[in-house]
Amino acid sequence: MNTHLWIQYFRANQNRFVEPALPPGGCALPASVLEPLRESLAIFQLGESGGGTRLLKYVRHVVSANRLAGYEEAVGLFIAEEQYHARLLEKAVTYLGGVCLEKQWSNSIFRWLRNHFGVEFNIQILLIAELIAEVYYGVMYRKCGDTALRGVCHKILSDEMRHIAFHTEFLRERLDAMPAWRRWLWRAQFRIFQRVTAVAVAWDHRDCFRALGLSPWEAAAMTFKTGERFLRRLGGSQHLWGARPAALAT
Ligand SMILES: [Fe+2]
Ligand SMILES: [Fe+2]
């Protein structure tokens, strides 16, 4: 894993984005769209927040065990980018006239799972969340109809695609060191976890997806596809820098 390249990327990405104006309560979308959107976005805002303390602790162990030089710094920059997303989404929720949350059931499950089963599972859960985010922000970008909100979604989606590539490169190296049977088991459990999570999140955010013209099942099916694409890339050897968000293509 070329951690030096990732550190360069994360540093350069800190100053690339110009935030759109997001005046509180300034969104003119109809209430039928606005209300489900802000409730849903507040949950994603909560998911993007968090200090990453446990992840960094796991990573320190991996770095010392495998001499993965630079990975800890790269993960620190990745966490900083997620924290920026949380701040940006906080402004977006306020712009939609909503209020940020302090606790929410699906977010609590995500956090609990991430913090109890070691670095690979922590990264796996993060990755599952990133794959959901790819679909979510992509649908929001294409269908919400508000220019400022589209700008926010475009920025987060572009970053999340890089995060997927970042985690894929890490996991690819970890899996390459496993025997074939263990790799097969890992992929099988990943597919199950990813699909169950995709259905649960799509159902939890069904009002938002419906307001954007999508059934929760269609949203879940889109997330299944991102999961399969991830597994294909995980098994390949190509670098992932050129990966373009499919959600931005239409
Ligand atoms: Fe994020
Ligand atoms: Fe991310």
Q: How far is the CA of 68 from the centre of ligand 1 (A)?
A: 24
* Domain CATH for 43: 1.20.1260.10
**Tokens 């985690």, located at residue:** 167
* 8 A C-beta contact, residue 19 and residue 150: no
Q: Is the pLDDT of residue 131 over 60?
A: yes
Q: How far is the CA of 160 from the centre of ligand 1 (A)?
A: 6
Counting the structural domains of the chain, the total is 1
Examine residue 119 and state whether it is found in any structural domain, yes or no: yes
Nearest to 175 by CA among 116, 129, 224, 231: 231
Examine residue 4 and state whether it is found in any structural domain, yes or no: no
Examine residue 8 and state whether it is found in any structural domain, yes or no: no
Ligand nearest to the Cα of 167, by number? 2
Examine residue 122 and state whether it is found in any structural domain, yes or no: yes
Which of the residue ranges 8-17, 111-120, 221-230 has the most confident prediction, judged by mean pLDDT?
Answer: 221-230
Examine residue 96 and state whether it is found in any structural domain, yes or no: yes
Examine residue 113 and state whether it is found in any structural domain, yes or no: yes
Q: How far is the CA of 147 from the centre of ligand 1 (A)?
A: 20
Examine residue 228 and state whether it is found in any structural domain, yes or no: yes
Give the angle 44-48-52 at the CA atoms, nearest 5°: 150
Q: How far is the CA of 158 from the centre of ligand 2 (A)?
A: 9
**Tokens 């999570």, located at residue:** 197
Range of the domain at 125: 30-241
User: How much is the pTM?
Assistant: 0.88
Structure confidence by residue, pLDDT tens digits, 37-73: 999 999 999 988 877 777 887 787 777 655 677 888 8
Q: Is the pLDDT of residue 126 over 80?
A: yes
- CA dihedral sign, ordered 78, 82, 85, 87: negative
Structure confidence by residue, pLDDT tens digits, 88-123: 999 999 999 998 888 888 778 877 777 777 777 888
Structure confidence by residue, pLDDT tens digits, 132-186: 999 999 999 999 999 999 999 999 999 999 999 999 988 888 888 889 999 999 9
**Tokens 């269908």, located at residue:** 143
The length of the chain, given as a count of residues: 250
Examine residue 72 and state whether it is found in any structural domain, yes or no: yes
How far apart (Å, rounded) are the C-alpha atoms in residues 3 and 20?
31
Give residue 244's pLDDT band: very low, low, confident or very high (50, 70, 90): very low
Q: How far is the CA of 141 from the centre of ligand 1 (A)?
A: 15
Q: How far is the CA of 159 from the centre of ligand 2 (A)?
A: 7
